[in-house]
């Protein structure tokens, strides 16, 4: 269809295996920058990233050029 617009927001949560508190404060900033680079490299927009020592939350604005499964797979890899 002409002039069709799609906007998809997804929230993903990545938990550390066994929910162990392994994400130390000194690793948070570099880890968040690394994940931001992966999302940006896939032509998606990271709206927010935050987390706790045992998990990370991402809010991503996705375009239709990629599936959610493929994006999550890229981030987890």
Query: Digits of tens for pLDDT over the chain (77 positions)?
Result: 577 778 899 999 999 888 889 999 999 999 999 999 999 999 999 999 999 999 999 999 998 889 999 999 999 88
Predicted pLDDT at 6: 80
Predicted pLDDT at 1: 59
Read off the tokens for 49.
Answer: 């990233």
Other CB atoms within a 10 A radius of the CB of residue 32 amount to 17
Predicted pLDDT at 77: 86
pTM for this predicted structure: 0.84
Predicted pLDDT at 64: 85
């Amino acid at each position: 269809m002409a002039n069709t617009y799609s906007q998809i927001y997804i929230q993903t949560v990545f938990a550390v295996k066994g929910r162990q508190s392994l994400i130390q404060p000194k690793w948070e900033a570099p880890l968040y920058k690394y994940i931001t680079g992966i999302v940006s490299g896939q032509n998606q927009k990271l709206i927010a990233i935050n987390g706790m020592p045992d998990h990370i939350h991402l809010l991503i604005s996705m375009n239709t050029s990629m599936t959610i499964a493929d994006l999550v797979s890229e981030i987890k890899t």
